Structure 1
Amino acid sequence: MTVPALRDQYGQEWLFPPVEGPDQPGHDVTWLIFIPGAYTPVCMSELDQVNDLAHQLTDMSVGLRLIAPDSVPVLRLVSDQFDLRVPFLSDFWPHGAAAKHYGILDETTGRPKRVSVLISRKGDVLETITAMSGARNMTEHLSVLQNKK
């Protein structure tokens, strides 16, 4: 397996699975929200909801990481534009390695499918949310957690 070389929107390296990073405490569970392309209309509609979701997840002691196949400079622009307060990780090189690890890389497009993966501290998959078409409703991430209680 190729180990993903993730970097956040500031260029800081993250270990895989991306539960903890520079100045980021680890959580027992973390949502990984895979974004197929940071500057697409559907992805931008999802990103517009991320800060509210992150705030609610923090209250539940759940981590949140965004992952996209775009380069770090692109993610920084998008992060600044949306004033994102969560790590936005680049799965740029080796291209799509994190998405491939979770079996959600679309080999035809080279982009991840529109999937969110709830992982344990060790990186085990606990739940997934898949958008069949259009944007994910970010409140669905909260519903999954409430149903696990």
Structure 2
Amino acid sequence: MAIQVGDKAPDFELKDNHGRAVKLSDFRGERNVVLIFFPFAFTGVCTGELCEVRDNLPRFSDRDTQVLAVSNDSIPTLRVFAEQEGLEYPLLSDFWPHGEVSRAYGVLDEAKGCAVRGTFVVDKDGVVRWSVVNGLPDARDLDAYIEALDTL
């Protein structure tokens, strides 16, 4: 079961596509976070969603928000994917222990070994204020993230 609105967002530390450690709690008191779980790099729907975020980054930064995208891909895979697509926000690897953070957020598809499409808007206090969880083939609506941020 996915984390619910009003829950404290589970803290985590994952390595980004450059091998740097990123902790969710590092943003507490400083920035909101849009946490985007995606199944796999280099796939059509994931690439489309993440490129749409790339093309709209000012809409997030203008709302004092950090975007963090998480998949169960390895760091080298995420590095090449980010370079190929020009993604300049952190792509976090939940590769090992496999899916630990995805599982904590209730978005790991155990049978497929990947996260489903879960998005969580976490406020500066570390509380989940909005979420959506879609199945693997179903793209999410970026405008819904922005509307959620506007209510904070």
Secondary structure in 2 matching 1:49: helix
Secondary structure in 1 matching 2:19: coil
Aligned equivalents of 1:18, 1:67: Cα separation in 2: 15
Aligned equivalents of 1:36, 1:18: Cα separation in 2: 23
| Structure 1 position 123, deviation (Å) | 3.5
The one-letter code of the counterpart of 1:143 is E
- Asked if 1:8 is matched to 2:12, the reply is no
CA deviation map 1:33-82 (0-9, x unaligned): 00111121111111221213322110111111011100000001110011
* Range with greater deviation from structure 2 (136-145 or 126-135): 126-135
User: Is the Cα–Cα contact under 8 Å of residues 5 and 91 in structure 1 kept in the other structure?
Assistant: no
- Asked if 1:145 is matched to 2:144, the reply is no
Task: Give the TM-score normalised by structure 2.
Answer: 0.82
User: Is the Cα–Cα contact under 8 Å of residues 36 and 68 in structure 2 kept in the other structure?
Assistant: yes
The share of aligned pairs that are identical, in percent, is: 32
Query: What is aligned with 1:124?
Result: 127
* Closer/same/farther in 2, CA of residues 11 and 69 from structure 1, 3 Å limit: same
Aligned length: 141
Instruction: Tell me the C-alpha RMSD between the 2 structures.
Output: 2.1
The one-letter code of the counterpart of 2:146 is L
- Asked if 1:28 is matched to 2:31, the reply is yes
- In the TM superposition, what are the counterparts of 1:36-51 in structure 2 within 5 Å? 36-51=39-54
Higher relative contact order (CA 8 A, sep 6+): 2
Aligned equivalents of 2:99, 2:29: Cα separation in 1: 23
User: Is the Cα–Cα contact under 8 Å of residues 121 and 148 in structure 2 kept in the other structure?
Assistant: no
User: Is the Cα–Cα contact under 8 Å of residues 34 and 115 in structure 1 kept in the other structure?
Assistant: yes
* Closer/same/farther in 2, CA of residues 116 and 44 from structure 1, 3 Å limit: same
Aligned equivalents of 1:93, 1:68: Cα separation in 2: 11
User: Is the Cα–Cα contact under 8 Å of residues 96 and 112 in structure 1 kept in the other structure?
Assistant: yes
Aligned equivalents of 2:33, 2:64: Cα separation in 1: 9
CA deviation map 1:69-108 (0-9, x unaligned): 0000000111001111101111111111111111111111
User: Is the Cα–Cα contact under 8 Å of residues 27 and 63 in structure 1 kept in the other structure?
Assistant: no
Task: Give the TM-score normalised by structure 1.
Answer: 0.83
Secondary structure in 2 matching 1:75: helix
